[in-house]
Amino acid sequence: MPPRTVVIGVDSSTQSTKAAVVDTGTGRPLAVGRAPHAVTGGAGARESDPERWWRALCEAVSAGLGESGVPASAVTGIAVAGQQHGLVVLDRSGRPLRPAMLWNDTRSAPQAAALTAAAGGPDAWLARTGSVPVASVTASKWQWLRENEPRAADAAAAVRLPHDFLTERLTGVAATDPGDASGTGWYSTATGSYDSAILRLIGLDAALLPEVAETGATCVGPLAAAAAEALGLPAGIAVAAGTGDNMGAAVGLGLGGSGLLDHPVLSLGTSGTVFAASRTRPTSAALSGFAAADGTYLPLACTLNCTLAVDRIAALLGLDREDAAPGGEAVLLPYLDGERTPDLPTASGQLTGLRHDTTAQQILGAAYEGAVVTVLHALDELLRACGLDPADPEVAARPLRLIGGGARGRAWVETVRRLSGRPVIVPAGDEFVARGAAALAAAAATDGDPVAIATGWDTDEGARLPALRRDSATWERVGTALEGAVRSLSAEGPYPGTGRPGTRG
């Protein structure tokens, strides 16, 4: 019997790093090491120290290997899937000039609106990059840096995304992939390359950017000696280009060119995300028209307020997160950090419909409903971008794959079932971002197809829950409140005093 080989898939997320040690043959996770991150900032700012990401990666890999009992010599490859959109600016020695601006940093919302107008409006951006700038997009953050911290922007010798930064630490090679690059705002999904006109608009030299590998599974270099020593791994093992966290999750679920297409996924985490793999290049202003890690496309919509926002409501009410009941007449839009989808960067939470008999449990249930209806509205737009009619009974009968921390919560699962009216699959495994990164690492080590590898690991096993009758009354009540919030902020403008136009809603 040949010796066991393993790969390591790294999920470097907003709040922590997870390193999954995965059996290459079976896909069975042998262990998952974890290490936390710190996020700082207020008044729209969300920042982290990239050096902490690297230390967390080293700690998580060490913990995972130790728990697995597998010798380091069995590791054949490693790949990183990281939080998207973050802006990392480095000096000539590769050290961060300042903390990274994270995806949920909303300070650059005015810059996003200004860039949208400067390049010809939403339709022009969709044609070029597949997405319209919002505060999350890296180009908006770079423009904010130029306007607010010009010394840091002028001193930048390299500009990276979070996963690019870590991959470069692993290999010494500046590399990214089409999937994560498509979230920057300066990469064109139409041409498969950086958009020179956009780079000129934001004053960014292409020489500061990493090369774009063909796919996230492309081997971009051997593990460098210094990184190998820090990680306790053999020097020279394969390092894949890696990708963004959402693209990694898609691979981990077996979605892509050789697997499931147009099967929607709903991820319930810090953010609420819906995505599907598609061979059709999406062009909808309501979506991010991302590339996937494997050469297909990954239309995606992301909300800012999901599990953390609902947990905050539970804490304010003194309730356990599971101690929720249907909201009744109460409607709560939990937009505690502004909102990205719909594009309401200055929004706050809104609570209406209170009665004398409204209970704390119903208010918490209304928070769940507000978060779920928001993300399901985005799902309908995603399906349209894939050429599907959400009202078509055949389309509505396709199961919704539910992942993320919320997928392990009864209240989240039941609220999604009640408001979607869809069958739901809750995959048996977890850590799909890390598993997807592991599949990319295995593909880099063997020159294989990462989606085929992940599919061979039985990624689609799990609980299959039948469809419930849709709660149309709650859907309509929350949807009306959502539309009212969009109209209200559109009327006053999302950036009071700037004269900027209203939200794209």
* Domain range list for the chain: 259-430+462-492
DSSP string, 27-45: --EEEEEEEE---B--TT-
Mean pLDDT along residues 386-409: 89
SS3 track for 58-112: HHHHHHHHHHHCCCHHHEEEEEEEECCCCEEEECCCCCECCCEECCCCCCCHHHH
Answer for the pair 223, 170: CB distance below 8 angstroms, yes or no. Answer: yes
pTM of the model: 0.86
Mean pLDDT along residues 12-19: 95
Residue 490 banded pLDDT, cuts 50, 70, 90: low
Looking at domain 259-430+462-492, which CATH architecture does it have? 2-Layer Sandwich (3.30)
What pLDDT is stored for residue 460 in this prediction? 63
Residues 380-396 have pLDDT tens digits of 988 888 788 888 998 88
Residue 51: its H or E element: helix 50-68
* Token pair listed for 438: 């592991």
Residue with tokens 């990239």: 50
Provide the percentage of residues in the chain whose pLDDT is more than 70.
95
What pLDDT is stored for residue 497 in this prediction? 31
Torsion sign (Cα): 268, 271, 272, 278:
negative
Catalytic positions, please?
245
* 63: pLDDT strictly greater than 50: yes
Range with the poorest average pLDDT among 69-78, 176-185, 296-305: 296-305
* 505: pLDDT strictly greater than 90: no
Residues 427-484 have pLDDT tens digits of 887 889 999 999 999 999 999 999 999 989 976 678 899 999 999 999 999 999 999 9
Residues 270-304 have pLDDT tens digits of 889 999 888 888 888 888 899 999 888 999 988 98
* Token pair listed for 140: 């908006």
What pLDDT is stored for residue 375 in this prediction? 95
Q: Max CA-CA distance within the chain?
A: 71
* 502: pLDDT strictly greater than 50: no
Residue 338 gets the label, from left (phi > 0), alpha (psi -120 to 50) or beta, of: left
What pLDDT is stored for residue 249 in this prediction? 92
What pLDDT is stored for residue 499 in this prediction? 31
Answer for the pair 460, 259: CB distance below 8 angstroms, yes or no. Answer: no
Residues 217-268 have pLDDT tens digits of 999 999 999 999 999 999 999 999 999 999 999 999 988 876 667 678 999 9
Mean pLDDT along residues 119-136: 93
- What is the Cα–Cα distance from 298 to 290, expressed in whole angstroms? 5
Query: What contacts 268, CB < 8 A, 6 or more positions away?
Result: 306, 307, 402, 403, 404, 405, 406, 407, 409, 412, 416
What pLDDT is stored for residue 116 in this prediction? 96
